[in-house]
Amino acid sequence: MRNLLIAGNWKMNHTAAATETFCRELRARGLEGKRPDILLCPPFTSIGTMVSLLKGSPVHVGGQNLHQQDKGAFTGEISAAMLREAGCSHVLIGHSERRQYFHEDDAGVNAKTRKALENGLTPVICIGETREEREKGVTNAVIKTQLSGALAGFAVGEIRKMLIAYEPVWAIGTGLTATPEQAQEVHRYIRKLLSEIAGAETAQLLRILYGGSAKPDNAAELLSEADIDGLLIGGASLKAEDFFRIIEIADTINK
């Protein structure tokens, strides 16, 4: 079965000093023996601190973005090899804020995903519709375009190494969560698309995370849905207490 994954996306929050405080508190709460897989994606400047302070714990560390080239004149960018060397095992790709503010498109997401896999990083591919798209009734069409664009040209064996995050843009950082039913409906559709793209067996193996104002108060009902295999959490991952609480909740879910 698909083990739940609780992931945090810190965005541009927490200095290395704040990261140290967070990591010490999270460890002190006791992560050992918790069943969900755990991932945290801090800013680049905090990766080293997090990797060293959470060494030996079950927490995986990921980047929030990478560049699709190996190296070169790309001021301000970071490569997959650099993330690996810093201790990352995962990387977020195509987060809606990257799409909105940095004009990332599906072709770029595809190229970044290839680079991540070539370097042994697990890509967490983020997809989701805007509020306008949902109101226009084109959510499924948007999801299909984004998912098929991201996965174009990959072999089934490569797709099996990926994670998908469904993040309705209207629910990110707004306090508006998709209802568990709304989220489940899209997750079920994503799994159907995955089945068409990579076969039923792969679709059953792949984990699809939900993201969008997830927090301790709504984690249990979201995680109880059949096709929701974890959470990608922004705001509520910034405090060790809240993030740990969600891990504890995930630990109690049986499905």
**Distance, CA of 62 to CA of 237 (rounded, Å):** 14
Minimum distance of ligand PEP from residue 60's CB (angstroms): 16
**Other CB atoms closer than 10 Å to residue 149's CB: what's the count?**
17
Q: Which residues of 178-216 are buried (b: 16+ CB within 10 A; e: fewer)?
A: bebebbbbbbebbbebbeebbeeebbeebbbbbbbbbbb
**103 flagged as catalytic:** no
The token pair at 96 is 């809606």
Task: Compose the 186-225 pattern: x for residues touching ligand PEP by CB under 6 A, - for all others.
Answer: -------------------------xxxx-----------
Task: Compose the 9-48 pattern: x for residues touching ligand PEP by CB under 6 A, - for all others.
Answer: x---------------------------------------
62 scored as a contact of ligand PEP (CB under 6 A)? no
Alpha carbons within 13 A on the beta-carbon side of 163: 30
**95 flagged as catalytic:** yes
* DSSP element (H, E) containing 211: strand 208-211
Nearer to ligand PEP, 222 or 236 (CB): 236
The active-site residue, picked from 60, 67, 90, 95, is 95
Task: Compose the 141-180 pattern: x for residues touching ligand PEP by CB under 6 A, - for all others.
Answer: --------------------------x----xx-------
Encoded amino acid at 181, one letter: E
The footprint of ligand PEP (CB under 6 A) covers 9, 167, 172-173, 211-214, 232-236
Tell me which residues are annotated as active site.
Answer: 95, 167
